[in-house]
Amino acid sequence: MKTQHIDNPAIAFSAAMKLAQTTADNQLGDNMLLSWYDRERDLESPRGASECHEGCPTKGYWDYGLNHGGKLAVNFDQGRFVFCFGTLEELG
């Protein structure tokens, strides 16, 4: 999965999600958000994806994105927020 890194320590989760969606729109065209992670609140989607990965170096949200057609990850501030997207063409 290609990763786009963005450094912006002042950005909030909702603004990061909007910027990630715009980035995915520009790079992938029609897309779908597959998974995400918010390190500050220790939240992820799909919920509980990391429970199966305790002790593993790969986080559940990342593995979910990879195994469900992920093509682009938008990573803010070295993992503070991560959003994984797939193309609708390949998902559909």
The whole domain housing 14 covers 2-91
Residues 6+ apart with CB under 8 A from 10: none
> Whole-model pTM?
0.91
**In total, how many domains does the chain have?**
1
Give pLDDT tens digits for 61-91. Answer: 999 999 999 999 999 999 999 999 999 988 7
Rounded to whole angstroms, how far apart are CA atoms 86 and 71? 5
Query: 70 is written with which tokens?
Result: 């992920």
- Whichever domain contains 17, its CATH number is 3.30.1490.340
pLDDT, tens only, 5-40: 999 999 999 999 999 999 999 999 999 999 999 999
Between CA 8 and CA 60 the distance in angstroms is 24
